[in-house]
Chains A and B, each alone.
Chain A
């Protein structure tokens, strides 16, 4: 079975400071890893994904994530946070085979203060 852990329910950061939202995963095989963002009363929006290759993945809105196989982590990062980044962030994992389903973490609320 595959699973995702997002250990922080909420992350608080001041605007202009770097941010990190943590994610660890468990899967029996090579993973595909994703980050999605959800704004209030909206569906999820895709931010970035890791499939293979370079461990540092760059995505939308200046976000990036680093795949670390030894630590089974895929933390989301941004060098300089914006107030508009405040939202609910979900990490997700699937197995790199066929119709493997996507398993989501419980989400981390990011609050960026002015």
Chain B
């Protein structure tokens, strides 16, 4: 069974940094494209980043230059380094397997940016 488990969400102040993690199991992590999708409170879904099995990356304009997606295939773990956080980054962050469509999702981790 595919499992994705996010961690790292927290309450931070504007301008601070945070690193999210997503541990994958039940599949060959290294061969799969992985993505991050977020959802602000009471709002819809927003794709923010994807990383390929070979390391290629794509970012939404809303996070480009502030966030870096990476992966450690030896640890079956996906990361999102988030810098210069803003109030509008407040959301539940989901990791998801794939990029064409997302058949597997984690349970999400909450990031709150507030002073």
Whether chains A and B associate is no
